[in-house]
Structure 1
Amino acid sequence: MAVPTFVDRVTLHVAGGDGGHGCTSIRREKFKPLGGPDGGNGGRGGSVILEVDPGLTTLVDYYHAPHRRGGNGKQGQGSNRSGADGADLILRVPDGTVVKTSDDEVLADLVGVGTSYVIAAGGHGGLGNAALASARRRAPGFALRGEPGDQRTVVLELKLVADVGLVGFPSAGKSSLIAAVSRARPKIADYPFTTLVPNLGVVTAGDTTFALADVPGLIEGASEGRGLGHEFLRHLERCSALCHVIDCATLETGRDPLSDLDVIEAELTAHGGFDDRPRLVALNKVDVAEARELADLVRHELEARGFDVYEVSAATHEGLASLTYAMARLVRQRRAATPPPEPTRIVLRPRAVDEEDFTVTRERDLWRVRGGRPERWVRQTDFGNDEAVGYLADRLNRLGVEARLLKLGAEPGDAVVIGEEENAVVFDFDPTVESRAEMLRGPRGTDRRLEGR
């Protein structure tokens, strides 16, 4: 089985690290059996972060290992010692990587060295009982659990960051041309589809330096999946200009420079997004006598169509200087017309005063509560601890969930579900319930051991 060395599209499964649990601890000192809570907070889970590395040109690492996870936070400890944060996981990606959802929604376009994007945030650490202490709850017998990290499945798609793209039929001489004008050394042979992966070279013409991309050859129907080029058409989307490389020495029947150009233009139009890109035409292989005659014959027709035409030979380097300077001119024009990137601005949009923190809906024989805060509080709760459950009920009551349920007609004994189907927690609605903090009857959130102290 062949192992790919160039991969420009992968599906990546990522998960942020889980936050560490808070600690329940009571300070023990001589003659002070109940010295007060001193449980530390749990550590934050590590995030998964994508970051551009200019030294990478492929996503092959994630083809072999598509599941990645940030480090988990450590649990808090007594004596007010917080747990260590989980390590962030930095995933290096090539310049020009686009991050999408499985539904093709673009989440981020990573262009530029050092550009980064948090793809899966780590979970918050749970508070220890020292942080939960208050005037009403002076010695909490519980702590909050750490939150799980975000889990996502995304698609990474690489689009080469090049200034000029070479397009043409297989064996038109694109790889030979890029090898002749740059230090790129693509595989070159005299059979179709020699180029199986895009090649990138750096060209200097005068005081202008630009990147030149050579993608696998296109054929008629490429935009619909024929041949190899359809897989790589997206690598041309960032190019400032396109250069048609036309084989004037082909021996294939039914082929000529004008029809080749028409076929490639039709495929670019079918793919879409290239209408505003200036074009050059390189009539290649004019070192062959018959090819030079054909180039002279079609040159005027191409110029009449509005193309800048250059007769070149990748083998003898004839005409390459003029072609590269023409490419550099188009690149300079595009760069001058492109406004500089604006500085990043953080826009703060405060939540409206009357905006709800949660919603309550009736679903058949149950009530469903949705909202970021209620669902987060449920994840933080240790349901094996009665006092922790009472604390959750107290928080939900202060938020107004109980009052909303009563207003909508909920009755004692009704099932109340908090969260979505996969992570839901079910309660029996009882608005008069009292917490049982360490088996001591009392109002929610109180501790009778400390009354009168």
Structure 2
Amino acid sequence: MTTFVDRVELHVAAGSGGHGCASVHREKFKPLGGPDGGNGGRGGDVILVVDQSVTTLLDYHHSPHRKATSGRPGEGGNRSGKDGQDLVLPVPDGTVIQDKAGNVLADLVGQGTTYVAAEGGRGGLGNAALSSARRKAPGFALLGVPGGMQDIVLELKTVADVALVGYPSAGKSSLISVLSAAKPKIADYPFTTLVPNLGVVTAGSTVYTIADVPGLIPGASQGKGLGLEFLRHVERCEVLVHVLDTATLESDRDPVSDLDMIEEELKQYGGGLDRRPRLVVLNKIDVPDGRDLADMVRPDLEARGYQVFAISAVAHTGLKELSFALADLVSKARAAKPKEEATRIVIRPKAVDDAGFTVVQEEDGLYRVRGEKPERWVRQTDFSNDEAVGYLADRLARLGVEEKLMKAGARSGDGVAIGPEENAVVFDWEPTVMAGAEMLGRRGEDHRLEEPRPAAQRRRDKQAERDEADQEFDDFNPF
């Protein structure tokens, strides 16, 4: 049973943010010392990072569900909750991350390269952070935001300079074992190589990596045999080496037809594989019939423009010339690559008229509000607390949601939904000048924390506030 896995579907979930705390400081002779509820902790991220000591995705094949820890809730005494711990998942060099639709999200190449697959949720603010000169003692706190979730596909594409391509049992594993220190499994039967093998070769001042990957058969580009698994690992290689068997026992095969078949599969697969620099190796010339066949087909292959080497991996014949020829091709391929530019930070400012949200009337007459801020604010609101609902109304009004609803044609009593269909908050809209927290008598203020006033003065101030709010409502309400 093979222990190599190069494609898995992974389900990741970041940690949720901890809830904020609503608390009032109390001590002897000072029973109402003001709000002291702490903030909730941030949820942990799920981060993929390249680790060159990892060579397979086997761990994620057995355990495809991964979740980071959530943040802890805040506590009284201005104690913030502990942040959730990030979940770091090591992946092999050359891992491509895609969504389930096949769109590439990230291509991780190079030790330490990272990708945040799911972001942890924000922690909710405690009532100490929500207090202000106008709202001195909030009786509510914000809830933590749920962590992000995502289903992704991890696909490993081997990072190597040279790829050995050819039929099963053409001698690719034997060749890499004598060119480098790699120790692949070798046997005289098809599909001995079930996993890619990498070796490091030094030729003069050039050091390059060489990959021996599963062999090809006709129809490989359509997934027959191990073809797709093979071709996936060839994509990143700069140089291809056709390893042709000159001592095959199959009567319907010969080196030239083998080469034509492999070239056709590379062309069908795409990705520019048919345009990579390549050379031809005629292997197994230690067998008498093999050398005769190699001498016979060599002129034909050279006439096609191929650089041809006759070798024997078993007898170590012709290996030095082959190694230096590969080093020359690798050096030219590296020199032809554009130089990597320094990392640039691209700033894309938002348009001046970008409100950060949209209001769309749907076919059933419902007005739907979509946007990062209003949707997050809704998730952070405890709808069982009137003060929290009033605070949400204030925030939406300041953002301009109410004004945009009026411009879209919304009228009193129309249905409004904030968020996507699966978890939206739906309510009947009532247009106002001041949002809920203001209309309900300046929510969040605790007069017990203020200097005492005569009862008559308190009544007059309260009535004046009501009269002022009623007058502003009458002046604004167009209905």
Query: Can you list the C-alpha shifts for 1:246-299, whole angstroms capped at 9, x where unaligned?
Result: 000011112111111000000000011213311110000000111101101111
Q: Given residue 189 of structure 1, which amino acid in structure 2 is its aligned partner?
A: A
**1:329 match:** 328
Q: Given residue 286 of structure 2, which amino acid in structure 1 is its aligned partner?
A: D
User: Partner of 2:391: helix, strand, or coil?
Assistant: helix
**Contact 1:434–1:442 (CA<8 Å) still a contact in 2?**
no
**Contact 1:45–1:123 (CA<8 Å) still a contact in 2?**
yes
Q: Partners of 2:228 and 2:141 in 1: how far apart?
A: 56
Q: Partners of 1:162 and 1:434 in 2: how far apart?
A: 62
Q: Given residue 369 of structure 2, which amino acid in structure 1 is its aligned partner?
A: V
Q: Given residue 277 of structure 1, which amino acid in structure 2 is its aligned partner?
A: R
Q: Partners of 1:235 and 1:447 in 2: how far apart?
A: 67
C-alpha change, 1:59 and 1:452, in structure 2 (3 Å) is same
User: Partner of 2:275: helix, strand, or coil?
Assistant: coil
**2:106 match:** 108
Q: Partners of 2:279 and 2:437 in 1: how far apart?
A: 80
Query: Can you list the C-alpha shifts for 1:129-181, whole angstroms capped at 9, x where unaligned?
Result: 11111111011111111111110011100000000000001110111111111
C-alpha change, 1:382 and 1:417, in structure 2 (3 Å) is same
**2:46 match:** 48
Q: Partners of 1:158 and 1:441 in 2: how far apart?
A: 59
Please give the TM-score of this superposition, normalised by the length of structure 1.
0.96
Q: What is the CA distance between 1:367 and its match in structure 2?
A: 1.3
Q: Partners of 2:209 and 2:32 in 1: how far apart?
A: 71
CA RMSD in angstroms comes to 1.7
- Give identity over the alignment, percent: 67
- The structure 2 residue matched to 1:170, chosen from 146, 168, 171, is 168
Q: Partners of 1:434 and 1:12 in 2: how far apart?
A: 44
Q: What is the CA distance between 1:15 and its match in structure 2?
A: 0.9
**2:384 match:** 384
**2:456 match:** none
**1:418 match:** 418
**2:469 match:** none
Compare 161-170 and 202-211 and name the one that shifted more.
202-211
**2:463 match:** none
Give 1 or 2 for the bigger CA radius of gyration.
Answer: 2
Please give the TM-score of this superposition, normalised by the length of structure 2.
0.91
Q: Given residue 319 of structure 1, which amino acid in structure 2 is its aligned partner?
A: G
**1:275 match:** 274
Q: Partners of 1:346 and 1:434 in 2: how far apart?
A: 40
**Contact 1:434–1:444 (CA<8 Å) still a contact in 2?**
no
1:375 aligned onto 2:375 = yes
- The structure 2 residue matched to 1:249, chosen from 236, 239, 247, is 247
1:403 aligned onto 2:403 = yes
Correspondence list, 1:278-289, <5 A: 278-289=277-288
Q: Partners of 2:72 and 2:447 in 1: how far apart?
A: 32
**1:318 match:** 317
Q: What is the CA distance between 1:444 and its match in structure 2?
A: 5.4
**Contact 1:215–1:229 (CA<8 Å) still a contact in 2?**
no
Q: Partners of 2:259 and 2:367 in 1: how far apart?
A: 64
Query: Can you list the C-alpha shifts for 1:11-31, whole angstroms capped at 9, x where unaligned?
Result: 011011101111111111333
**Contact 2:394–2:437 (CA<8 Å) still a contact in 1?**
no
Q: Given residue 112 of structure 2, which amino acid in structure 1 is its aligned partner?
A: G
Q: What is the CA distance between 1:343 and its match in structure 2?
A: 1.9
Correspondence list, 1:283-302, <5 A: 283-302=282-301
Size of the aligned set, in residue pairs, is: 449
1:355 aligned onto 2:354 = yes
Q: Given residue 158 of structure 1, which amino acid in structure 2 is its aligned partner?
A: L
**1:264 match:** 262
**Contact 1:24–1:128 (CA<8 Å) still a contact in 2?**
yes
Compare 121-130 and 194-203 and name the one that shifted more.
194-203
**Contact 1:19–1:44 (CA<8 Å) still a contact in 2?**
yes
Show structure 1 runs of 5+ residues with no match.
none
**Contact 1:434–1:443 (CA<8 Å) still a contact in 2?**
no
Compare 364-373 and 162-171 and name the one that shifted more.
364-373
Q: Given residue 379 of structure 1, which amino acid in structure 2 is its aligned partner?
A: R
**2:205 match:** 207
Q: Partners of 2:120 and 2:237 in 1: how far apart?
A: 36
**Contact 1:70–1:86 (CA<8 Å) still a contact in 2?**
yes
User: Partner of 2:188: helix, strand, or coil?
Assistant: coil
- The structure 2 residue matched to 1:143, chosen from 141, 144, 150, is 141
C-alpha change, 1:434 and 1:33, in structure 2 (3 Å) is farther
Q: What is the CA distance between 1:435 and its match in structure 2?
A: 4.2
Q: What is the CA distance between 1:411 and its match in structure 2?
A: 2.3
Q: What is the CA distance between 1:116 and its match in structure 2?
A: 0.8
**Contact 2:94–2:108 (CA<8 Å) still a contact in 1?**
yes
Show structure 2 runs of 5+ residues with no match.
453-479
- The structure 2 residue matched to 1:230, chosen from 220, 228, 231, is 228
Q: What is the CA distance between 1:71 and its match in structure 2?
A: 1.2
Q: What is the CA distance between 1:448 and its match in structure 2?
A: 5.4
Q: Partners of 1:233 and 1:87 in 2: how far apart?
A: 38
Q: Partners of 1:447 and 1:69 in 2: how far apart?
A: 41
Q: Partners of 2:447 and 2:423 in 1: how far apart?
A: 34
Q: Partners of 2:422 and 2:305 in 1: how far apart?
A: 60
Q: Partners of 1:411 and 1:450 in 2: how far apart?
A: 40
Q: What is the CA distance between 1:91 and its match in structure 2?
A: 0.2
**2:428 match:** 428
**Contact 1:394–1:445 (CA<8 Å) still a contact in 2?**
no
Q: What is the CA distance between 1:229 and its match in structure 2?
A: 2.4
1:68 aligned onto 2:66 = yes
**Contact 1:243–1:282 (CA<8 Å) still a contact in 2?**
yes
**1:36 match:** 34
User: Partner of 2:98: helix, strand, or coil?
Assistant: strand
Q: Partners of 1:372 and 1:142 in 2: how far apart?
A: 22
**Contact 2:135–2:443 (CA<8 Å) still a contact in 1?**
no
**1:128 match:** 126
Q: Partners of 2:184 and 2:233 in 1: how far apart?
A: 17
Query: Can you list the C-alpha shifts for 1:375-406, whole angstroms capped at 9, x where unaligned?
Result: 01001111111100110011111111112222
